[in-house]
Amino acid sequence: MQADWTVAATPTSGPLSARKLAALTPRPPASHAANTNTFLAEAGEALDHLELPPAMRRLLLTPQREVAVELAIRRDSGELATFHAFRVQHDDSRGPFKGGLRYSPEVDLDDVRSLASLMTWKTAVMDIPFGGAKGGICCDPRQLSERELEALTRKLVQALRPVLGAHTDIPAPDMNTGAREMGWFMDEFSRAAGFTPAIVTGKPVHLHGSLGREAATGRGTVFAIRELLKAQGLGGIAGRTFVIQGFGNVGSWAARILHEQGGRVVAVADAFGAVAADAGLDIPALTRHMAAGGSLASFPGGTEMPKERILAVPCDVLIPAAIGGVITEANAGSLQCTIVAEAANGPITPDGDLVLRRRGITVLPDIYCNGGGVTVSYFEWTQNLQSYRWTEKEVNAKLDRAMTEAFRGIWEVASTKGLPLRTAAFVIALQRVAQARANRGFD
């Protein structure tokens, strides 16, 4: 996907328009942004439950700024390579733009635009003082050396610096990025602006990161599942069965914490394979196996299975924790669970969501379920601004409270209005953003 345009004779001197660069990008148009807006606007969804004027609806759905840049670096081979990169700033009515940076061959403007919108609703439903943004570089990080990745990250900071700031837009890790990249990001921004640890979150703990940040999204997902089970009168985590699709940072941490709390993780899949055990996988042993270089499918404590079958494994709770769009109208009928917890961003398409509703499968929506990451990012940002570090116990306790309070609000709206949890979450988020927009005025 990258091969058609990686080598250029000369780099561009400045940002291209997002529309022009998107048109030049050699890939078929995606539909992530359309999916997000469908959840908001169509078939009795969130916007139809709010009496908002048409102009306000357009404001809520339209990003404030879209930036597209072309990054040129010298490869280890001496070759000059260029990479498309994007930053979409959707809304900052409630606070600075906030959202991750992903490095993936699948990154395009539509994808980033959709994820930026989801960040606006996520920060609003979690009631933290941020807006929504997202960014990324279209590259395959597996094909780049550490030096090349560092050079690419620093070029991204240089290109986006005019629209970033600790009180303007604060990036964070996302797909294929982590503490290492955030450390490079902070260093490059600080070279021009002076020491600015609050410019980015998800940094290494020894470089002004927050304790508890690495596990935050997975831990928040477990808190969300716990609250739903309690609300439905189904007890707690202990004894329940779980299937996790995706065993990266989010999926692996969710598995560890579920295991610690007595849950049975009966199947796990990643991009390369899957493993299952009816009695429950030994998650600590699986984690050690993979840390030693073993593959998921080769874990001796379970039975290898085709990764394509992971969504249909019987369980109480299915946790898609990888990429978007994996549960569709075509496969939603094969799920054998009572709850789907969206630890990934956008793992269910709108048509797939309708199938799950008809089947009575409850969905914990992504704008709430995976909100633990941005919540602890907020804690990290706050600690950086105060130059004061909280203990991990404090961070986890504050995250627990934030996830619990957000769920209670969603559950109350869903119960009183007879809405699905996703629609209820969007109603809350839209109300908060619309109110902030109106209160700040339009002149």
pLDDT digits (tens, 9 = 90+) for 117-142: 889 999 999 999 999 999 999 999 99
Q: What is the pLDDT at residue 420?
A: 93
Among 18-32, 65-79, 125-139, 418-432, which is the least confidently predicted range? 18-32
d(CA 141, CA 48): 41
Mean pLDDT of 86-115: 94
d(CA 130, CA 98): 6
Question: Who's near 275: CB < 8 A, 6+ residues apart?
Answer: 267, 268, 269, 281, 286, 296, 297, 299, 301, 302, 303, 304, 305
Q: Read off the tokens for 29.
A: 């148009």
Q: Are 229 and 235 in contact (CB under 8 A)?
A: yes
Q: Confidence band (pLDDT; 50, 70, 90) for 41?
A: low
Q: What is the pLDDT at residue 324?
A: 82
d(CA 34, CA 123): 20
The pTM of this model reads 0.87
Q: What is the pLDDT of residues 16-38, one digit of tens each?
A: 333 333 333 333 333 455 666 55
Q: What is the pLDDT at residue 137?
A: 97
Q: What is the pLDDT at residue 18?
A: 34
Mean pLDDT of 425-432: 92
In three-state secondary structure terms, 334 is helix
Nearest to 82 by CA among 135, 147, 8, 14: 8
Largest CA distance in the chain: 64
Q: What is the pLDDT of residues 271-284, one digit of tens each?
A: 899 999 999 999 99
For residue 307, indicate whether it is catalytic: no
> What is the crossing angle of helices 179-193 and 146-160, to 10°?
40
Q: Confidence band (pLDDT; 50, 70, 90) for 415?
A: very high
End-to-end alpha-carbon separation of the chain, Å? 44
Mean pLDDT of 103-129: 92
Q: What is the pLDDT at residue 16?
A: 37
Q: Read off the tokens for 126.
A: 């979690």
Q: What is the pLDDT of residues 205-224, one digit of tens each?
A: 999 999 999 999 999 999 99
Q: What is the pLDDT at residue 40?
A: 59
- Is the model's pLDDT at 58 over the cut of 60? yes
Q: Are 209 and 203 in contact (CB under 8 A)?
A: yes
In three-state secondary structure terms, 8 is coil
Q: What percent of the chain has pLDDT over 90?
A: 79
Backbone dihedral angles phi then psi of residue 369, each to the nearest 5 degrees: -60, -40
Residue among 20, 98, 122, 134 flagged as catalytic = 134
Q: Which helix (H) or strand (E) holds 172?
A: strand 169-173
**CA dist list (Å): 320 to 191, 233, 368, 377, 425:** 39, 23, 14, 22, 19
Q: What is the pLDDT at residue 45?
A: 63
Q: What is the pLDDT at residue 358?
A: 95
Q: What is the mean pLDDT of the chain?
A: 89
Nearest to 84 by CA among 105, 65, 114: 105
Q: What is the pLDDT of residues 374-386, one digit of tens each?
A: 999 999 999 999 9
